């Protein structure tokens, strides 16, 4: 393809980002206004080259220190941030997040059509379409005396503020009365401690998969509605929100959160694989049932960061246009996850962080990311009027912060990384009300009610803040009796869902807290990889008495019989023309070692040995037609 040898203005600036180059890109009128800011400098009818020369001498000479001293404190901070940034550019979003205000670069004239630069504009001039920045040679000069800016700080709390429940007023139109009805609701703060829940939920999900009760789509790998309903009932303390029907068809749905993410998380970590629209345990998943949960949870998180099944932003389903590709498409979610992971690793363990404060810290501390390459590709309600590329639309709080809320509530919290404090999303945030087309939305995302989070000791281990994690020993709260009749009776306490599922692998429920060990059920479970050692450990924890002899015999027998046969591969069954031919082939030194005799005329050959068998068969003067 032909390319012009002529370098554009912007290319030239990028290749030579010196002060002189930047100044030469300005027009003469703007340069005159900049020279007017220099003390004691007067030029008569100067040419553009003269103006550039004066500014270069002033800014790269000894007078720069005096000019710096004339800047206000906020302006000096702006220069310091740009000077010590990686690329010398001034990041207005990060600066405002860190300092709570923006410096002034220009002052409008009375006619409002023109503006005059402030002294700060000399230090951080416009650099083409990229924004404002400090030229490379000026950065080097300034670093000699400009102190480095302080690191961004994250505020945290020992306890969550105790406030009365939030009030929210809903409205609905009564079709019969032809009037709008307003109802007031209390939205209490819910606190979930997640470490213990994560370990239990992991075992529950793996056992459900072991029993082939988790259904997912073969195309999207997303869990079915029936699966999410099942998980909602079995996960520790149920899901974060009650599953309720929408009031109006156009209202966004809250729906499952934990019950949605767990089937995706175990797939990403290759603990489970799809077979006929149901998940089955992999060898890694089977091992995870007996491994320390913390290690498995860390592997799941790291797998999700690098190869998550979906783009979590798709869960912000009120924002449309997400399927566009190319320069209008979404950014790689792995980059976003990594930025959030690094910021989470900076959080103090055991202290509550308000999500808005964390969002601010991410911007101020350089943990920034983009959700889309071009916000003009996204919209609310209408692609024209609700376009998020318009000025004032689609800011950090609409795109990046909603993604952040989703990752925290739907993925980090279920894995036990963060405890959470949250409300129902309806009316929880009003920062999206200025966006076109949001009048009828009761919330922008189902995650809008997340208020605070706290990194747990388990989270610190998963994030790599510490090398070891001491799990809290779970005290046995149940008492069992294992009877010679092979019955298991629950005498005290309640079984957790994962404990019930473990029992169901080997025993049949008789109701009223009684199970009977069942041979066919046990053998089928052992066939799939279930281990008798797991059941023994569970029974020993609930009943300190030695197992009855009849139960010991039962367990030993089914453990042996459940693995009595071992599959060695898929085989090809061959029928010979006569018993004599079958005998010749089976006894031959070349073909005999590749086949086994079955019946009068039958031979069995492992499928992966078919080619070698054919060659040996041909060598002794026989053939086998292709099928």
Q: Is the per-residue pLDDT at 6 higher than 50?
A: no
pLDDT band at 460 (very low <50, low <70, confident <90, very high): very high
> Which residues, in sequence order, are bridge partners of residue 56?
none
Enter the DSSP assignment of 332. Answer: P
DSSP string, 560-597: HHTTS------EEEEE-SSHHHHHHHHHSTTTGGG-EE
Percentage of the chain modeled with pLDDT above 90: 76
Residues 367-404, buried b or exposed e (16+ Cβ, 10 A)? bbbbbbeebbbbbbbeeeebbbeeeebbbbebbbbbbb
* 567: number of Cβ within 10 Å: 6
**Count of residues making up the chain:** 627
pLDDT band at 113 (very low <50, low <70, confident <90, very high): confident
Q: Is the per-residue pLDDT at 15 higher than 60?
A: no
Instruction: Report, as an integer, the average pLDDT of 579-591.
Output: 96
In angstroms, the Cα distances linking 64 to 38, 89, 103, 395, 502 are: 10, 19, 19, 36, 75
Task: Report the pLDDT value the prediction gives residue 3, as an integer from 0 to 100.
Answer: 36
Instruction: Report, as an integer, the average pLDDT of 602-608.
Output: 96
Task: Report the pLDDT value the prediction gives residue 112, as an integer from 0 to 100.
Answer: 65
Q: Is the per-residue pLDDT at 110 higher than 80?
A: no
Instruction: Report, as an integer, the average pLDDT of 277-281.
Output: 95
Entry pTM = 0.85
214: CB partners within 8 A, 6+ apart = 205, 208, 223, 227, 263, 272, 278, 279
376: CB partners within 8 A, 6+ apart = 328, 387, 388, 389
615: CB partners within 8 A, 6+ apart = none
Q: Is the per-residue pLDDT at 623 higher than 80?
A: yes
Task: Report the pLDDT value the prediction gives residue 401, as an integer from 0 to 100.
Answer: 97
Task: Report the pLDDT value the prediction gives residue 470, as an integer from 0 to 100.
Answer: 87
Task: Report the pLDDT value the prediction gives residue 338, as an integer from 0 to 100.
Answer: 97
267: CB partners within 8 A, 6+ apart = 216, 221, 273, 274, 279, 309
Q: To the nearest whole number, what is the mean pLDDT of the chain?
A: 91
Task: Report the pLDDT value the prediction gives residue 250, as an integer from 0 to 100.
Answer: 66
Q: Is the per-residue pLDDT at 65 higher than 60?
A: yes
Task: Report the pLDDT value the prediction gives residue 248, as an integer from 0 to 100.
Answer: 66
DSSP string, 494-508: ---HHHHHHHHHHEE
Task: Report the pLDDT value the prediction gives residue 244, as an integer from 0 to 100.
Answer: 73
pLDDT band at 622 (very low <50, low <70, confident <90, very high): very high
Per-residue pLDDT tens for 166-217?
988 877 767 777 777 778 888 999 999 999 999 999 999 999 999 999 999 9
Task: Report the pLDDT value the prediction gives residue 16, as an integer from 0 to 100.
Answer: 56
Percentage of the chain modeled with pLDDT above 70: 95
Instruction: Report, as an integer, the average pLDDT of 331-338.
Output: 97
Per-residue pLDDT tens for 562-571?
989 988 889 9
Per-residue pLDDT tens for 214-256?
999 999 999 999 999 999 999 999 999 987 776 666 678 899 9
Instruction: Report, as an integer, the average pLDDT of 110-117.
Output: 79
Question: From start to end of 224-351, where are the E strands?
Answer: 272-275, 278-281, 319-320
Per-residue pLDDT tens for 66-90?
999 999 999 999 999 999 998 899 9
Per-residue pLDDT tens for 368-419?
999 999 999 999 988 888 889 888 788 999 999 999 999 999 999 999 999 9
Per-residue pLDDT tens for 500-532?
999 999 999 998 899 999 999 999 998 888 889
Task: Report the pLDDT value the prediction gives residue 14, as an integer from 0 to 100.
Answer: 53
Q: How many CA atoms are closer than 13 Å to the CA of 322, on its beta-carbon side?
A: 18
pLDDT band at 9 (very low <50, low <70, confident <90, very high): very low
Q: Which of 47-51, 181-185, 353-357 has the highest mean pLDDT?
A: 353-357
Instruction: Assign 3-state DSSP to the chain and report helix, strand, coil percentages, each to 5.
Output: 40, 15, 45
Q: What is the 3-state secondary structure (H, E, C) of 22-76?
A: HHHCCCHHHHHHHHCCCCCCCCCCCCHHHHHHHHHHHHHCCCHHHHHHCCCHHHH
């Amino acid at each position: 393809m032909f390319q012009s040898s002529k370098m554009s203005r912007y290319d030239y600036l990028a290749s030579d980002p010196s002060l002189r180059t930047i100044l030469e890109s300005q027009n003469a009128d703007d340069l005159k206004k900049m020279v007017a800011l220099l003390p004691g400098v007067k030029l008569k009818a100067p040419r553009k080259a003269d103006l550039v020369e004066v500014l270069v001498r002033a800014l790269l000479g000894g007078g720069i220190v005096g000019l710096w001293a004339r800047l206000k404190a906020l302006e000096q901070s702006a220069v310091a941030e740009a000077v010590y940034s990686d690329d010398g550019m001034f990041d207005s979003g990060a600066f405002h997040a860190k300092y709570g205000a923006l410096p002034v670069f220009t002052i409008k004239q009375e006619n409002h059509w023109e503006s005059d630069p402030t002294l700060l504009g000399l230090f951080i001039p416009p650099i083409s379409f990229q924004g404002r920045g400090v030229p490379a040679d000026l950065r080097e000069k300034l670093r000699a005396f400009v102190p480095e800016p302080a690191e961004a700080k994250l505020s945290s709390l020992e306890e969550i503020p105790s406030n009365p429940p939030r009030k929210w007023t809903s409205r609905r139109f009564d079709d019969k009365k032809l009037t709008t009805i307003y109802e007031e609701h209390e939205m209490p703060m819910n606190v979930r401690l997640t470490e213990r829940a994560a370990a239990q939920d992991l075992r529950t999900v793996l056992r459900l998969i072991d029993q082939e009760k988790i259904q997912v789509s073969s195309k999207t790998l997303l869990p079915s509605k029936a699966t999410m309903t099942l998980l909602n009932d079995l996960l520790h303390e149920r899901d974060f929100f009650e599953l309720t029907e929408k009031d109006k068809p156009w209202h966004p749905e809250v729906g499952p959160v934990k019950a949605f993410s767990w089937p995706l998380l175990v797939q990403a970590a290759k603990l489970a694989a799809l077979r006929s629209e149901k998940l089955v345990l992999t060898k890694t998943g089977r091992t995870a049932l007996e491994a320390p949960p913390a290690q498995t949870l860390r592997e799941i998180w790291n797998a999700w960061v690098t190869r998550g099944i979906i783009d979590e932003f798709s869960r912000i389903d009120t924002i449309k246009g997400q399927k566009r590709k190319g320069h209008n498409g979404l950014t790689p979610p792995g980059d976003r996850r990594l930025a959030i992971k690094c910021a989470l690793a900076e959080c103090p363990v055991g202290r509550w962080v308000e999500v808005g404060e964390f969002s601010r810290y991410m911007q101020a501390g350089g943990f920034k990311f983009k959700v889309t390459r071009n916000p003009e590709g996204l919209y609310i309600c209408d692609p024209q009027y609700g376009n998020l590329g318009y000025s004032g639309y689609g800011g950090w709080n609409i795109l990046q912060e909603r993604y952040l809320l989703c990752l925290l509530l739907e993925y980090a919290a279920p894995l036990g990384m963060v405890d959470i404090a949250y409300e129902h999303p309806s009316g929880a945030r009003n920062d999206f009300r200025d966006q076109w087309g949001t009048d009828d939305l009761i919330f922008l995302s189902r995650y809008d009610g997340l208020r605070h989070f706290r990194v747990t000791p388990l989270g610190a281990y998963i994030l790599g803040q510490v090398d070891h994690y001491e799990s809290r020993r779970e005290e046995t709260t149940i008492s069992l009796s294992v009877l010679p009749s092979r019955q298991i009776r629950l005498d005290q306490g309640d079984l957790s869902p994962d404990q019930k599922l473990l029992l169901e692998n080997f025993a049949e429920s008789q109701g009223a807290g009684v199970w009977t060990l069942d041979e066919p059920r046990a053998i089928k479970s052992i066939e799939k990889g279930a281990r008798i050692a797991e059941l023994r450990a569970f029974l020993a924890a609930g009943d300190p008495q030695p197992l009855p002899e009849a139960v010991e015999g039962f367990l030993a027998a089914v453990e042996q019989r459940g693995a009595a046969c071992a599959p060695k591969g898929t085989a090809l069954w061959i029928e010979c023309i006569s018993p004599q031919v079958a005998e010749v082939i089976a006894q031959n030194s070349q073909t005999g070692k590749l086949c086994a005799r079955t019946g009068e005329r039958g031979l069995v050959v492992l499928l992966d040995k078919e080619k070698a068998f054919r060659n040996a068969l041909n060598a002794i003067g026989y053939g086998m037609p292709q099928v």
